[in-house]
Amino acid sequence: MLLRENGLAILKINKKKFVYLISPNKISNKFYQNLDKVLQSGKVSFFQIRLKKYSFKKKIIIGKKIKQICKKNKVKLLVNDDPILTKKLKADGCHLGQKDTDIIKARKILGNKIIGITCHNSIKLAKIAIKNKANYLAFGAFYLTKTKKVKHKANIKILNAVKKLSKTPIVAIGGINSTNYKNLLLNNANFLAISGYIWNNKKYKPFEAIKRLK
């Protein structure tokens, strides 16, 4: 659910919908059907389009299909790295890494849409993001992951420290699966960013994998 305060989006936390789902790197023909099934689980608050190897034009085509599925299942659609694509798709918001567009510039493009910021394992980066009115703060990687190269490792202490600084929602990311996710939820993570566990799980199909996150 999305509320407004002074014109900016305020994320309302739903403990049952704690999954922040990120797209696989490659979109297969079966992906859209699998995505619909996964979102029907009722556990996903956000879906992020993260497609590094596709052209802008192809991202729009894929994004429009994903947007319909997200809308049907009442899931907020976010775009990784790209405020222009976010605006083009009329998505709900954008996620920015430290090397992406500056949040102030992104805010001028997106207005009061959701903007989340990667803070790695840094209280300093979190404070800057809070000052710039980020809608959520993302920390990680908490565990080993094959989805992307891990340059920064985070731990539970930073979640507890940031929660004392601000009420801004916290997203934990990096190698999260059915055996380690509960510890993050018990230590002030509001949402868990998950990709590989759902899309590249060798043991379970996507819908079966998300059902194991109780």
Q: pLDDT digits over 111-150, tens only?
A: 999 999 999 999 999 999 999 999 999 999 999 876 666 6
Q: 151 pLDDT band (50/70/90 cuts)?
A: confident
Q: pLDDT at position 150, please?
A: 63
Q: pLDDT at position 3, please?
A: 45
CATH 3.20.20.70 fits 13-211, yes or no: yes
Predicted confidence (pLDDT) at residue 152 exceeds the cutoff of 90: no
Question: Phi and psi for 3 in degrees, rounded to 5?
Answer: -110, 175
Structure token digits, residue 104: 């102030």
Structure token digits, residue 120: 């790695």
Dihedral-angle region of residue 66 (phi above 0 means left; psi in -120 to 50 means alpha; beta otherwise)? alpha
Q: What is the radius of gyration, based on Cα positions, of the chain?
A: 16
Contact 31, 61 (CB under 8 A): no
**Which carries the bigger pLDDT value, residue 91 or residue 152?**
91
pTM score: 0.93
Distance CA 170, CA 41 (A): 22
